[in-house]
Structure 1
Amino acid sequence: MSLIISYIGSNGCVIAGDKRRIGFVGDKDNREKLEKYLYSGAIQTDDELIKVAKELEISIKISDDAQKVRSIDNNVVVGEVASKTPFEARRKRIYGATNGYIITELLGSNIDKMKDGDSSIIVFGNKITKKMANEYLQEHWKSKLNLNDVSTIFQKVLEEVSAKTPSVSKEFDIVTKHSNLDKKEAQKVLRETIVEDVKRLQKWREELKEQQMNVSKTMELASKIVNEGIIGQIKSIEGNKLFVTLNNNIQAFDVQWNMVAGPGDLIEMNTDDSSSLNVGDMAVIQNENLCIARTKSPIQCDVILCKIE
């Protein structure tokens, strides 16, 4: 679901890309059938895509907020097309600068393939978008163009293609760079940029994995929060502070889901009036309310109480 066009020359570089993302959910065979229709050019509008998806019982989500092209420092532009499944993410990127480019293919955050060159017009996209873009470029390209001319042609290409297929958005980004790099300098700058860019990707993936693990842990523990049953027994009372020994199937966690007490440990609770309470009284949760079983007196604590299965 992309169209990215890059011009790499001795006078600078220009990169343009659409912003469309489409997510498919449903039967695998029907998803593949829908994608085949889409990439063949048989589907030409968003409405047609939605209609065919509905007929194939495929849920789709269309958004036009993807950033597929970007600028890095004063020298380098980057364009990326990506495909993601629950099991892996594949990325194809072009890094461009004056007098040089490098195309990388990444699996996850590992570089799988690399290819370099010094000048070219390079198009990323599916079969139909590449075909339409190349036809327009062949028709309108001239031997001597400045970077503004190139930018204008790329804009026209994206407008033309987006009018004929829903795999490309009508919104797009264009980035132009001009720097004084010779071919050797360009390759050096590009390789240094790629190393740093992949490091950032690896760090982002590690942070995302950690976030996902934290979410998973939160969901798991949240499902164990006690909403009914015995919590523990009062061991001592100091004013309105109660020190409760946790039951043998209860753990206590702080708001960051760090365990602060386990079975048999003491935790502090509070009450507005302890005059009617005795050592040995049971702290319980009844109707999702924390209280003393004998008196029904409400009590409070600053921890999350979970049951051990």
Structure 2
Amino acid sequence: MDTTDAVTGMMVSGYGRDAELEADRIGGELIAKAGYNPYAVIEMVQVLKDQELFEKSISGGRQTYHGLFATHPKNDKRLHEAVQVSYQYVPNETVEPIEDMWEMLDGLVYGDEAAEGIVKEQTFYNSSVRIVVTFPAAWSVTNTRTQVVGQAPGGGSKGEITIAQQTQVKGQDPAEYVKKTLKRDDVVSGESLKVNEFDAYIADLDVADGKLAVSMLAVVFKDGAVYFFKGSADPGADADAFRADFKATVATFRAMAKEDVAVANRQRIKVIEATPKDSYASLAKQSSIKRYPVETLRLLNADFPNGEPRPGDRIKTVQ
């Protein structure tokens, strides 16, 4: 069985290798026809290889990619042959780039903040879906890829509100979505309303069992998505105060404005000219990268795993 698995793995790996080389050849053709050096394909593949080696080093040696190159891509003969064919497509005259690459890179948004969103004080910003929500003053607010959580002073027992994104169902308004899709049969009272320009529904839920002092939900429709607000406070909390806080939080939901973008995308590429004193270790101390900053800066600058900036080099940092 082990032998069969090994042979199968070799066959699949070989097939994958041929397919990748074909893709690299086509990529080289396209780059050549655009007037650029086809050997940029090899440099691009080396970036992928460096990323693979980095991920493998932080995962305890576990293979994170199927490993196309047993050797350095720049020494891979078949890859060079595949790319060499592309040179016949390089035009006789090439057009100068409209803008300088380094100028275009400087200030470029970096990282996954756009996907996850960020929290500044009590306000949540997410530029990927272009929304802003503000929680009550003094609340603690955290976010993950899947939800935003706000807690009242004193903890979740005093009041907690979560926001999660769901998919809108065609033909349903917010009230119907709550009833038919969420299948909530515990709505005590609810109302349809507009939250800024967006259709919404907000409701009190049944708390007759005494496990909660108050429980509420709301849904807001925006751009084909549903933003589902769920809030509650434990017995002993001020139900009326929480109800007011919940409604106020929902009411802050709005589309992102131009001035919000700079706040929502704080991490940006900064291009600098290296000095004799610069090293990736020293630059990492000034960077906003939180995990593996030295290794990440090396990856960004094609110096992985052990390279260092040379005086006069233009170096990409993250601030």
Higher strand share: 1
Q: TM-score, normalised by structure 2?
A: 0.25
Q: TM-score, normalised by structure 1?
A: 0.26
Higher Cα Rg, which structure: 1
Higher helix share: 2
Q: Higher relative contact order at CA 8 Å, sep ≥6: structure 1 or structure 2?
A: 1
